[in-house]
Structure 1
Amino acid sequence: MTYGGSNQPRPSRNERREAAREKARVLREEQKKRERRNKILIQGGIIVAVVAIAALVGTLIFQSVKPAGPGPQNMASDGILLTAGDGGGIVAVETPALAAGEAPTPTVPDDSGEVANIVVYVDYLCPFCGQFEATNSESMRTMVESGAATLEVHPIAILTNKSAGTQYSLRAANAAACVAESSPDSFFDYNAILFENQPEEGSTGLTDDELKSLAEEVGVSNQSTIEKCIDDVQFKAWVQDSTNRALTEPIPNTNPELPSVTGTPTVLVNGQQYGGSLDDPQEFQAFVLQATSQSFNDSESTPTPTPTPTPAQ
Structure 2
Amino acid sequence: MTPPPDNGPNKRDRREEAREKARLAREAAARKKRRNTVFARSGIIVGVLAILVIVALVIISSVKPAGPGPANMASDGILLKGDATTSQISAVKTAAIKSGGTPTATDDKKLTGTVNITVYLDYQCPYCDQFETANASQIKTWLQKGAVTYEIHPISILDGSSLGTRYSSRSANAAACVANYDPNDFLAVTTAFYANQPAEGTSGLTNAKILSLLKGAGASSSDITSCVNNETFKSWVTASTKRALSDKLPNSSVAKVTGTPTVIVNGKLYSGSLTDASAFSSFVASTATS
For the criterion TM > 0.5, the same-fold answer is yes
- 1:22 match: secondary structure: helix
Q: Percent identity?
A: 42
Do the aligned partners of 1:157 and 1:170 also contact (CA within 8 Å) in 2? yes
Do the aligned partners of 1:208 and 1:231 also contact (CA within 8 Å) in 2? no
What is aligned with 2:172?
Answer: 173
What is aligned with 1:54?
Answer: 52
Deviation at 1:191, TM superposition (A): 1.4
Moved more, 20-29 or 268-277: 268-277
1:144 aligns with 2:170: no
Unaligned 5+ residue runs, structure 1?
Answer: 1-5, 296-313
Do the aligned partners of 2:173 and 2:232 also contact (CA within 8 Å) in 1? no
Q: C-alpha distance in 2, partners of 1:144/1:34? A: 83
1:69 aligns with 2:70: no
Q: C-alpha distance in 2, partners of 1:201/1:146? A: 36
Tell me the alpha carbon deviations over residues 139-172 of structure 1, each in whole angstroms, 9 at most, x when there is no partner.
3223223323221112233445444555443443
What amino acid maps onto 1:243 in structure 2?
A
- Shift of the 179–186 alpha-carbon distance from structure 1 to 2, 3 Å rule, reads same
What is aligned with 2:102?
Answer: 102
Q: C-alpha distance in 1, partners of 2:229/2:167? A: 17
1:264 aligns with 2:260: yes
Q: C-alpha distance in 1, partners of 2:130/2:239? A: 26
Tell me the alpha carbon deviations over residues 80-137 of structure 1, each in whole angstroms, 9 at most, x when there is no partner.
1011368763221111233435253233256644x33222222222222101101221
- Map residues 36-55 of structure 1 onto 2, 5 A cutoff: 36-39=34-37, 41-55=39-53
What is aligned with 2:236?
Answer: 235
What amino acid maps onto 1:105 in structure 2?
A
Do the aligned partners of 2:81 and 2:90 also contact (CA within 8 Å) in 1? yes
Q: C-alpha distance in 1, partners of 2:112/2:65? A: 42
What is aligned with 1:201?
Answer: 200
What is aligned with 1:226?
Answer: 227
Deviation at 1:44, TM superposition (A): 4.8
Do the aligned partners of 1:182 and 1:225 also contact (CA within 8 Å) in 2? no
- Shift of the 103–83 alpha-carbon distance from structure 1 to 2, 3 Å rule, reads closer
What is aligned with 2:132?
Answer: 133
Aligned length: 283
What is aligned with 1:119?
Answer: 118
- 2:26 match: secondary structure: helix
- 2:235 match: secondary structure: coil
- 1:220 match: secondary structure: coil
Do the aligned partners of 2:163 and 2:201 also contact (CA within 8 Å) in 1? yes
Do the aligned partners of 1:70 and 1:238 also contact (CA within 8 Å) in 2? no
Q: C-alpha distance in 1, partners of 2:62/2:259? A: 29
Unaligned 5+ residue runs, structure 2?
Answer: none
- 2:18 match: secondary structure: helix
1:23 aligns with 2:21: yes
Do the aligned partners of 1:74 and 1:95 also contact (CA within 8 Å) in 2? yes
What amino acid maps onto 2:92 in structure 1?
V
1:215 aligns with 2:214: yes
What amino acid maps onto 1:280 in structure 2?
D
What amino acid maps onto 1:117 in structure 2?
N
Tell me the alpha carbon deviations over residues 166-192 of structure 1, each in whole angstroms, 9 at most, x when there is no partner.
544344333322322233222112211
* Structure number with larger C-alpha Rg: 1
Q: C-alpha distance in 2, partners of 1:55/1:212? A: 38
Q: C-alpha distance in 1, partners of 2:45/2:256? A: 53
Tell me the alpha carbon deviations over residues 186-219 of structure 1, each in whole angstroms, 9 at most, x when there is no partner.
2112211221122233444334454344334432
Normalising by the residue count of structure 2, what TM-score does the alignment of the two structures yield? Answer: 0.79
- Shift of the 38–207 alpha-carbon distance from structure 1 to 2, 3 Å rule, reads same
Q: C-alpha distance in 1, partners of 2:24/2:249? A: 85
- 1:243 match: secondary structure: helix
- 2:263 match: secondary structure: strand
Normalising by the residue count of structure 1, what TM-score does the alignment of the two structures yield? Answer: 0.74
What amino acid maps onto 2:122 in structure 1?
D
Q: C-alpha distance in 2, partners of 1:269/1:38? A: 73
- Shift of the 217–28 alpha-carbon distance from structure 1 to 2, 3 Å rule, reads farther
Moved more, 275-284 or 56-65: 275-284
Tell me the alpha carbon deviations over residues 211-269 of structure 1, each in whole angstroms, 9 at most, x when there is no partner.
34433443234223422552672323323333224xx41551x4xx4444443323333
- Shift of the 275–12 alpha-carbon distance from structure 1 to 2, 3 Å rule, reads closer
